Amino acid sequence: MEGKRNSHGSTPAAWTLVVIVTLGVTVSTVSLVLGSWFGFWVGAAVVLLGAIVGGIMRAAGLGQKPRPSARANS
């Protein structure tokens, strides 16, 4: 298949993002079950932190490389 990406998103930036966001969602979910709004918001902040860290890692070159545009191949 032409233009197919090989990594399928398996990059250090993607894995770091997934791990941090999963931890944040877990903290938020457990906190809601226990009735702790403070814990819920801490978990939500961890999710936001994960998105920021993933974006920084991607910008640092640890994410998936951009796909070449269709015009460049024409």
From first CA to last CA, the distance across the chain in angstroms is: 16
- The model's pTM is 0.77
* Domain count within the chain: 1
**pLDDT < 70 positions in the chain:** 1-8, 69-74
Asked if residue 3 is part of any domain, the answer here is no
Host domain of residue 30: 12-62
Distances (CA, A) of 38 to 21, 29, 54, 58, 73: 17, 12, 24, 30, 52
Residue 49 lies in a domain: yes
17 domain-assigned: yes
Within a domain: 43: yes
The answer to whether position 2 is within a domain reads: no
Confidence (pLDDT) at 49: 97
- pLDDT, position 32: 96
**Domain annotation covers residue 28:** yes
Query: Is 68 domain-assigned?
Result: no
Is 1 within a domain? Answer: no
